[in-house]
Structure 1
Amino acid sequence: MARVTGLGGIFFKARDPAALGAWYAKHLGLDVDDWGGARFAEDASRAGYTLWSPFAADTGYFAPSTQPYMVNFRVDDLDALLAQLRADGVAVDERVEESEFGRFGWIMDPEGTRIELWQPPA
């Protein structure tokens, strides 16, 4: 039977796609190509995986964003990245959550979208 094998991409609207792409490149290190997006190759030698997960329409998990979605990025050093983002003036949630799934932190991008940063367990 044919089936989905992974996440093919995250596509969303932005008021200023070029400026938002530049922000993600500067603050999160995304390698944004000339066409405006970033491609991630799977690396089996690194921890982590990709999830697809619908949330209830009334979830508060994305707050304070009012967007109907949240992007989760895998990171290699959550503490260092959050410190750099704070130094850069990015809105960083003070809470860091730890669980059996790893460590999580959150930021807001310039368009008010909540971004989850995930450091998988070693």
Structure 2
Amino acid sequence: MERVTGVGGVFFKSKEPAALAAWYRDHLGLELEPGSEAVSVFRWSEPGTTTWSAFPEDTQYLGRAESRAMFNYRVKNLDRMLAQLRADAVFVDDRVEISKFGRFGWAIDPEGNRFELWEPADGL
């Protein structure tokens, strides 16, 4: 059985992403990625990363308009995980996105929350 291997990131909406990220930087010590106004990446002691990212209030990336956050789960084999979910009658988005960060897929939980599955690129 395929399983998630950890949390790849937490993504949420914000009315003012840069200002909110600055607040977290100033009050909780979250260091922002160079060139970013609203992304902080935690480096693992073993290979891998966890990403903290504030999205604009009007983003559609997180699913339903009322969704304030989306969980991203790391997986070793995205294709097998998506097939497993489909076999269990879970709604899975047909789209798979490929980027320099790896491969991404999405599904919906029983409460209607969209979540992301991430097969990291080598070295992430």
Q: TM class by shorter-chain length?
A: 0.5 to 0.7
- Give the 3 Å change call, closer, same or farther, for CA 43–119 of structure 1 in structure 2: farther
Q: Aligned partner of 2:112: which letter?
A: G
SS at match of 1:118: strand
Does 1:3 pair with 2:34? no
**Identical aligned residues as a percent:** 52
Contact 1:66 1:113 in 2 (8 A): no
Runs of 4+ in 1 over 6 A off after TM superposition: none
- Bigger proportion of residues as strand: 2
CA shift digits 1:38-87 (9 cap, x unpaired): xxxx661x4x3101100000001112463210000111100000000000
Distance 2:29 2:117 in 1: 28
Asked if 2 retains the 8 angstrom alpha-carbon contact of 1:104 and 1:119, the reply is yes
Which amino acid in 2 is paired with 1:56? P
The number of residue pairs the alignment matches comes to 83
TM-score under structure 2 length normalisation: 0.61
1:118 and 1:43 map into 2 onto residues whose CA distance is 19
Counterpart of 1:83? Answer: 83
Query: What residue number does 1:119 align with?
Result: 119
Question: Any residues of structure 2 matched to 1:92-111 within 5 Å, and which?
Answer: 92-111=92-111
Cα distance per residue 1:95-118 (max 9 Å; x no partner):
000010000000000111110000
Unaligned runs of 5+ in 1: 6-41
| Cα drift, residue 4 of structure 1 | 4.4
Cα pair 1:65 1:114 within 8 Å, conserved: no
Query: Runs of 5+ in structure 2 lacking a partner?
Result: 1-27, 32-43
1:66–1:112: 8 Å Cα contact kept in structure 2? no
Alignment of 1:53-72 (within 5 A): 53-64=53-64, 66-72=66-72
- CA RMSD across the alignment: 1.9
